[in-house]
Each structure stands twice: as structure tokens, then as C-alpha cells.
Structure 1
Amino acid sequence: MDIDFEAAIKPFNWMEYEGSFSVTLTVGEYKVEVFRRRREEGFLGTGYDWVSLALVFLDEKMPELSDAIDFDPEADTFCAYSSDSESLKKFILGFKAACEDWRLIQDLFSRAELD
């Protein structure tokens, strides 16, 4: 694993185990303000809310990866996983870049649906 890659995706964390790869995020510390704008609709910034946002991103920005990426959130954790490390790396680099673009992430989140 390239240190630059791990640094580039922080605060997301990369994990590998026996042919499976995952990216996790402990929610509640990163981009809290994104979810705060739709709190009255029920978005609290949980792992499920992050998946709702990630699905819009994946569908609109990287639809070619949709079949390769799966999600397994918990209330306090966002988790994306795949058996294809390159697809997951491409997804998380793109998703992290989108998260850092305030206008883009707000636009994407405006179409996210509450789980």
C-alpha cells in the first residue's frame, strides 16, 4: 500500500484481508456540516447517510464501478468494500475529492435519499 494513497484518502481508512478490500470511515467528525443541512429531513450523518451520499456519487460520477463496489454501513461507520482493489481505490479517491469540493458534495447530497 502506497503511503501517499493512504494519506490522500484520510480520514477514510483502507483495509485488506484475504482477497477483499474495504474503506471505512468513523462518522461524526468529517464533513458533519454536509448532513446538518438536511437534518430536518432525518439525515444525521450516520454510516447509512454516508452510503446514501456515496450511491449518488457512484451512480452519477462513476457508474462503471457500480457493480464492483458494495456497502455495509453501521450507525457509526461507513464501509465500502470490493474484491477489486483497483475499482475501490478509484472510487474512494474520487469520492474523497468530491467530499472536498463543497459545491459538488452539496449538489450530490441534494439527491441523496434517506435510508
Structure 2
Amino acid sequence: MRPMRLIEPSPGTYSLLLDAGTTDVDDVVEELGHEPHGYFWEGVARVLVGTEAPTLEGRFSYDPEGSMFCAYGTDRDALAELAARMSAVATDPERIRQVIALAPATGVEFDD
């Protein structure tokens, strides 16, 4: 699940975290004109949910910051599925290129 972390900050409440600027694809993200901060990764999550995992829609909320991506909620399984999908993108230069290219067609604009 690297570089994602799924934690339980309080009983029954879960947070999915990614420290911005720590992924294997940061250079590719910057090469493609984006900044790999928490808001960018929210855009990645939204593309993935919208195109690959629509059953995750509405099962958690987003709360990114400049230095961190965060999704949270009470549905651990949904967050674990998002973690697996995002980990695959955050460690594979070709996958991040695909997600970035797909974003405009899904209505996602990266917050740069």
C-alpha cells in the first residue's frame, strides 16, 4: 500500500493519508505541468473513483492540504480500495500519465 497509509485515529473512523512530495512519480507529475501536493492527489482520487471505481462515490470525504492528501470516513473497506488504486498510480510513471491525460474527460481539474 506504499506510499498510502490507512489509520484509525478514533474507533470506527479511518483516514487515508499520503505525504505529498514523497511518491515515485513526483518528477513525472512536475514534468506534466502539475504540482504533486495534496490537492493534486485529490484530483487523482476523483479520476480513479469516477472511471474505475464508481461504487466508491460518496463513501468517504476528502480533506487534502498542501503537504498531504487525506480521505476519511467510517467505511474502511472503501478507503482500503482507494488506497490500493492510488498506490498503483503513485508508484507507476505510466499509470500517472494515464490518469493525468484522462482527467479532462472526467471533468477533474487539478488544483495547481
TM bracket (short chain): 0.7 to 0.9
**Could you state the TM-score of these two structures normalised by the residue count of structure 2?**
0.82
Cα-Cα RMSD: 1.6
Higher relative contact order (CA 8 A, sep 6+): 2
Match of 2:110 in 1: 114
**Gapped regions of structure 2 (runs ≥ 5):** none
Match of 2:2 in 1: 10
SS where residue 15 of structure 1 aligns?
strand
What is the CA-CA distance between 1:47 and the residue it aligns to? 0.4
Deviations 1:29-67, CA, capped at 9 Å, x for gaps: 21212321232xxx2111001111111011101011011
**Gapped regions of structure 1 (runs ≥ 5):** 1-8
**Could you state the TM-score of these two structures normalised by the residue count of structure 1?**
0.80
Q: Distance in 2 between matches of 1:75 and 1:28?
A: 10
Q: Percent identity?
A: 27
Q: How does 1:14-33 map to 2 (within 5 A)?
A: 14-16=6-8, 17-30=10-23, 31-33=25-27
Q: How many residues align?
A: 104
Q: Distance in 2 between matches of 1:36 and 1:91?
A: 23
Alignment of 1:95 onto 2:83: no
